[in-house]
A and B are shown apart, each in its own frame.
Chain A
Amino acid sequence: MGTLRRRAGAYGLLAPGTIWLVLFFLIPLYFLGRLSLNVNVGGVYYPFDWHWKNYSDALSLYDTQFIRSFVYSLVATLICLVLAYPLAYAIAFKAGKWRHAMLLAVVAPFFTTYLIRTISWVTILSDESPVVEVLQFLHIAPSGQVLATPAAVVSGLVYNYLPFMVLPIYASLERLDTRLLEAAKDLYADTKTTFLKVTLPLSAPGVVAGTLLTFIPATGDYVNAEFLGSSNSQMIGNVIQSLYLKQQEYPAAAALSFVLMAIILIIVLIYIRFAGSEALMGEEGAAI
């Protein structure tokens, strides 16, 4: 009797959220799939006809942007990892009393509007800025321009998604039992061995969560490419957005969106199998 009531209570607590997510997240995905198989006849009404040609057409037309999105996102994710790991490590083990201040600095970008942050990179990377002059002086940017290049788009992605990499890695390092590090030292492991054999493997869940939380949104991003790139650095998000909102080619846009989700879902499932779903759920929650 008591357990029955408790169970009913649990379902009661779950119901509103579950209904909302099913109704406005899962069912819309079904509608996205449905729309992607409609015949595009122009106008508002699109008859449903298992029109798989939408997929082959969309993919052959926009394969460049697709590949570009994954390449940019992968490069940005790797750069984020290289930048985030030392930072997370420094906050967890070296910051001392500055730990809270450093964490605050990591989340500070979240406090300013995403679009304005990205626009400020237009200033930083514009032709007259000191940053670009230094790059020109070092012959890193020989063309004399950074803005409107793939490098600018990738740097925008790195900047915008870096906190998503830092926080999960920090959370996993912070939870690390420091007695294990002492044990390694007692067993005569040098700093490098301790790091490679103890610290790094134990922070792996954080790295997995961080790479996912960076890679997924970066692949679908189109704001960075829109503001910092040119027509030669358009990502798949730009195409989807333009097909939906400007050209109203809904079936083709839906097909592209569906393929993007399918590929990302496959990657996520492989990752979750490999790391456990708690890595994604727990780490991030602990970090925020």
Chain B
Amino acid sequence: MQSAADIGALGAGRGTVSTRGGASVSNASPAAFTLTCACVMVAAALAGLAPLWLSVATVFAFAGPHNWAELRFFITRLPARLGRSRGFFALAGAGVVGLTVAYALLALGADSGVWGGEGLYAATALWNSAAVLWVVGLVAVRGRTMSRGGGWVWALPVGCALLGLSWLAPQAFALALVYAHPLVALWFLDRQIRLTRRGWSRAYRVCLALLPVALVLLWWRLAGAAPLAEDGEVALRIVRHAGAGVVPNVSTHLLVSTHVFLETLHYGVWLVGVPLAAGAGLAPWRAAGVPLVRHRRGWPRLIRALLVAGGAAVLLLWLCFVADYATTRDVYFTVAMAHVLAEVPFLLRTL
């Protein structure tokens, strides 16, 4: 099993003061800190001023690369020998594949309109329930393999409460996932910083405190904003994705701005934050630092092929966006459920 020391050794760059575990204790430079804060506020301002434009631009430019970066991150976190984690990873893999396929079928059914209102309601609630049960199962399996405490049992009441909410308001529950997903990246970055750049922790937490400030500013400015003009398929899809029709009596401008702001942060974290915190070890095209490549019982060819395929998929996605942005966006956000789900087991393993 890969230890924190291994991960830290991958990450810390040269010329930094490091602990035995590989974590750099050098503080973040004031210039970098200021630049990060400025980026967060500029992203919020752009999201408020031109939400549709920012959504189109960021999804086009960063959706593919950030998935590639996540793939590289997850591959790095896979242990060379599964050992006692075999059951955990089996459940994780089955859940990611099964729930993604089910989600795609759900999207197809919703688009074709064959289910009607009742069918769609039940199907959405069932998918939500399956996702909650899967997460609770992962927490239970993970908790039972860990030596300390039995805190995982608290996942049972929390899971039941989430199941209840997913049946009371299935669409709202699914929308909550859309808004919560970008925040998970911030958690990953926090864990990465604690592993490899401990000196950045305080500056990062201060930057995190900017997030609610930016959100409150957005909501304050846009609470009474007129709905966005939904001219064309792309605008309609963006507005729907942000929750128009699910969240009543809220300006669609506010919804789209909030969603785009969080998505932009999400892309920034995976494409800039995590690689910077990890050093050069997490560049998607470099496979040398992956335990499954280095280990004598690893799968170096398969891992290299996966990373090359990831890069090719990014290029293909860009071409498809150029050819038909609206359709590609639909397909992308359906398939992208896989990376949303894949974050769960890897996040659990960092806790």
A complexed with B: no
Residues of B within 8 A of A (CB): none
